[in-house]
Structure 1
């Protein structure tokens, strides 16, 4: 294990990350809110630590193998999440504990959107901007991780998707080098953010709110500059804009790249995962609309449809924005939507959850097993698109599902051990492991009232979910540390 090379890389990352403290400090100067000092302190502290880690190891060279790759990816999130908490720790008002600061930072960077803060609109603009910026940077990190890095390590939804399926993802293969791939992804990501900002502004948001909400929308994060989230604006037009951009951000970014590069938008309709994703979204919206209308929750069908569309898309894509307290709906709907967050977005998107392609393959495998019961001697293949998948792909998906379920159960049991009630423990685990945000029970509005122990457990759950389980789980195996 090339530890000195890894320390050098982490030092570079921390020094680079320190630059992200500058924009919130500038926002503080613009709005004269007095919230810039914590960011200046965090900038100085981060760049000094980054240089201390980098400089003594600057001459270290050598090709990194898969083992080092796994460790760097995990440390990337753990280290940046920890340094991201510094401005929040340095804050005088509100005076956050270390557990609260770390929880909020990791929630932002992993695009979970769970918060310990209340009275958000009264916080300094610098803090509000920083929270949204964390989600935006985390969203970009997720895409580069999913599309460029994890496939090289042999894990992640894109590995299975790129290696084993036909269509635009495999045909285009993005670009051959990670740097080029990351650059093209940045172009798409920034362009979508700009378009979303302009749409929000045109719909009535001021520039600050438009930029902040565009950051968290494209990142499918869920942080807002108001306690009432998107519901603060009370605008069906803003709701629609949010839904459209959430759906775009939940699509595989390699598809966006293929569509732009080839100037052919038919690549979207040839993608089997996208078809399944849109089918799931349509079913959820219609089911929510039917239940809300039947229960008479809202006074008009237009309002019921607006709420059903927004909440169904927001929760199922793991954004977690809110226009109403969905926890007050008939219990069937909140539970349904939380279960839908286990599916999440497409592979290679900023969405959380297990990813649509994996859930679809689990469904196809289930159908195949049923057919085998009827015709034991028949040979059935699983096809994604028009190509049959080898059994090793299905085995990998089953392995991922088993690990996901195991991690979920362990985290939920740990939360129950802290004294949390059943509904709160279940929904909090789902909200953090799926990178969703809002839950039910004591975490329906915020996570500020749970114990510090529960916050640390849920912070770990966020990282597990963001790194697609295996990337972090492999570090706990003796085999990884041998040799």
Structure 2
């Protein structure tokens, strides 16, 4: 393990993170909301802390190994989330405990969107902006952004990229150099954010609301400056715009890159994961619309918009809401929560297990059925025209089994702590899938939970954001052996 180099990188990244306190300070100055001092103080605390870590190891420049990349990612996300909680603690206009502040920061940076804050409409613009900014930075992953500058620091970045990016197949680069890959991802991410913000503004949002919601939409985060979320605007056009950009942000960003480079939509429809993604969204939307119309909950046009919006929002693990879907009739609330387990596509800003893994699980299950009929037959699993190695399939099964096991353990811990079954199930699902809203006591926010539960759910958010194995590998003795 290259501990000196890891320490040096961690210190550098923390100092870079301190710069993110400047924009909310400017917002506080513009709106004169009295929140600037909290961000200025956090800026100095963060940059000093980062410098203290960096300076003793400033000359360490050993090449990172794969194990080093995992450790940097986990340390950085944990420390970053803890540092990100400081403004919530220092803000004198809201009273938040340490558990609340940590929960909110983890929720923001992991793009979960669960909140412990109520009365958002009355909060200072600076803290509202800061919450949205946390999600935007976490959406693509600050590590990927940092990878773009690591070559200038004499450090290779592929190890960090492999540890950070979601999905079962992580070795594909969009460009020959990893720094170019990171920059390409961020150009696409920034382009989607700008397009989303302009669309919101043209649809009637104020410039501040358009910027804030574009951050959390493209990040698939779900934070909003309003307690009523997207429902605050009571606008079908805004809901449809949000649905479009949530859908796009849930697509594998390498597909966006190929579409832009080729100036053709063909890469989308040739991709089996994208096709499965669309089929899932259309199917769940039709089910929701049918049930809502059968129960006379909405008329056809409103029911269609609500079905599209909430299906895309929950399935992509964004977590926006324009109505209380937890009160929808029949099985719809549970169906939507279960849809979040599938989540969005690999290499997107979404959470969940990822569509590509669900596709491979179904294909493997069907292969086992065929083997029962033809025991000596050789059956390949293919994605499109490409065969998938058994090693990848085994990794997907291992991920799925671990995901289910951790879900059950976390749910039982919450129930042992006095949480009812519905709340425990939906809270763990919402946090592990980086979704946000749940059912029962967490349908609106998480403020009613005790501190121990909030820490458990913060850990669940980190597990989901780092796709479980990146974090769990640190708890195995094999990782630390020479």
1:413-469 Cα deviation digits (max 9, x unpaired):
111111000000000000000000000000000000100000000000000000001
Q: Distance in 2 between matches of 1:252 and 1:200?
A: 23
The structural deviation recorded for 1:219 is: 0.1
1:442–1:449 CA contact under 8 A, matched in 2: yes
Structure 1 equivalent of residue 188 of structure 2: 188
Structure 1 equivalent of residue 268 of structure 2: 268
The structural deviation recorded for 1:157 is: 4.8
Q: Partner of 2:382: helix, strand, or coil?
A: strand
- CA gap 1:156/1:50 in 2 versus in 1, 3 angstroms: closer
Q: Distance in 2 between matches of 1:87 and 1:410?
A: 32
Q: Distance in 2 between matches of 1:245 and 1:429?
A: 26
Q: Partner of 2:444: helix, strand, or coil?
A: coil
Structure 1 equivalent of residue 432 of structure 2: 433
Q: Partner of 1:341: helix, strand, or coil?
A: helix
Q: Distance in 1 between matches of 2:467 and 2:436?
A: 17
Structure 1 equivalent of residue 245 of structure 2: 245
1:182-209 Cα deviation digits (max 9, x unpaired):
1111111111100000000000000000
The structural deviation recorded for 1:377 is: 2.1
Q: Distance in 1 between matches of 2:226 and 2:138?
A: 21
Q: Distance in 2 between matches of 1:343 and 1:158?
A: 12
- Give aligned pairs, total: 473
Q: Distance in 2 between matches of 1:370 and 1:334?
A: 32
2:65–2:159 CA contact under 8 A, matched in 1: no
Structure 2 equivalent of residue 332 of structure 1: 331
The structural deviation recorded for 1:363 is: 0.5
The structural deviation recorded for 1:159 is: 5.0
Q: Distance in 2 between matches of 1:152 and 1:234?
A: 40
Structure 1 equivalent of residue 397 of structure 2: 398
1:104–1:114 CA contact under 8 A, matched in 2: yes
The structural deviation recorded for 1:111 is: 0.2
Of 9-18 and 254-263, deviating more is 254-263
Structure 2 residue 371 is matched with structure 1 residue 375: no
Structure 2 equivalent of residue 108 of structure 1: 108
The structural deviation recorded for 1:93 is: 2.3
Q: How does 1:149-298 map to 2 (within 5 A)?
A: 153=162, 157-158=166-167, 160=169, 173-298=173-298
Structure 1 equivalent of residue 91 of structure 2: 91
2:166–2:348 CA contact under 8 A, matched in 1: no
2:85–2:104 CA contact under 8 A, matched in 1: yes
Q: Partner of 2:118: helix, strand, or coil?
A: coil
Structure 2 equivalent of residue 384 of structure 1: 383
Of 89-98 and 221-230, deviating more is 89-98
Structure 2 equivalent of residue 50 of structure 1: 50
1:226–1:232 CA contact under 8 A, matched in 2: yes
2:69–2:160 CA contact under 8 A, matched in 1: no
Structure 2 residue 420 is matched with structure 1 residue 415: no
Q: Distance in 2 between matches of 1:150 and 1:128?
A: 34
- CA gap 1:185/1:244 in 2 versus in 1, 3 angstroms: same
- TM-score, with normalisation over the residues of structure 2? 0.95
Q: Partner of 2:341: helix, strand, or coil?
A: coil
* CA root-mean-square deviation: 1.7
Q: How does 1:3-14 map to 2 (within 5 A)?
A: 3-14=3-14
The structural deviation recorded for 1:263 is: 2.2
The structural deviation recorded for 1:153 is: 4.5
- CA gap 1:102/1:132 in 2 versus in 1, 3 angstroms: same
Q: Distance in 2 between matches of 1:95 and 1:418?
A: 25
Unaligned runs of 5+ in 2: 148-156
- CA gap 1:356/1:317 in 2 versus in 1, 3 angstroms: same
Structure 2 residue 329 is matched with structure 1 residue 343: no
1:143–1:349 CA contact under 8 A, matched in 2: no
- CA gap 1:309/1:149 in 2 versus in 1, 3 angstroms: farther
Q: Distance in 2 between matches of 1:233 and 1:461?
A: 32
Q: Distance in 2 between matches of 1:295 and 1:328?
A: 12
Q: Distance in 1 between matches of 2:262 and 2:367?
A: 36
Unaligned runs of 5+ in 1: 164-169
Q: Partner of 2:447: helix, strand, or coil?
A: coil
Q: Distance in 1 between matches of 2:316 and 2:290?
A: 20
Q: Distance in 2 between matches of 1:154 and 1:250?
A: 20
Structure 1 equivalent of residue 74 of structure 2: 74
- TM-score, with normalisation over the residues of structure 1? 0.95
- CA gap 1:310/1:417 in 2 versus in 1, 3 angstroms: same
Q: Distance in 2 between matches of 1:270 and 1:403?
A: 31
The structural deviation recorded for 1:259 is: 1.2
Q: Distance in 2 between matches of 1:33 and 1:142?
A: 28
Structure 2 equivalent of residue 453 of structure 1: 452
Q: Distance in 1 between matches of 2:323 and 2:214?
A: 20
The structural deviation recorded for 1:143 is: 8.8
The structural deviation recorded for 1:155 is: 8.6
